[in-house]
Amino acid sequence: MKKVIWYSIQNCGDGSAYPTWMESEMLCMLDQEFMEEGWGEPCVGSITIESESEIYFKEKIETAETVKEELEKEMRCFGEEDECHKWLEKHLNAVNELIEEKRAKEKKDDST
């Protein structure tokens, strides 16, 4: 079995950083694009794990669906005219497009 896990490095703004594990490169790129304390260029990558047995991850791996839930929750904290709400909505729209692409690919894979 082989699994590829993507990561998006988070800038904590105080000189420290940490990875957020994600399901796809595109989700990482969106994360970097909409990061509050960003980098000069995208800071993403992946690791590939191979094993003859099942692979389990103890760390949380963000999916487009979990990111969508978090964005919707955060948006409720701001009024619709607030700049933060508009910025979050733009991010949410990009994530929704990614979800639609993912569903279309899954549907196509199921039909073949």
Cα 81 to chain center, whole Å? 25
Please tell me the distance from the alpha carbon of residue 8 to that of residue 72, in angstroms, as a whole number: 20
> Dihedral sign, CA of 99, 100, 105, 107?
positive
Q: Encode pLDDT of 39-72 as tens digits.
A: 888 899 999 999 999 988 999 999 999 999 999 9
pLDDT band at 38, cuts 50/70/90? confident
Residue 15 pLDDT grade (very low, low, confident, very high; cuts 50, 70, 90): confident
- Taking the C-alpha atoms of residue 13 and residue 28, their distance in angstroms, rounded to an integer, is 19
Return the pLDDT at 81: 92
Q: How confident is the model at residue 37 (pLDDT cuts 50, 70, 90)?
A: confident
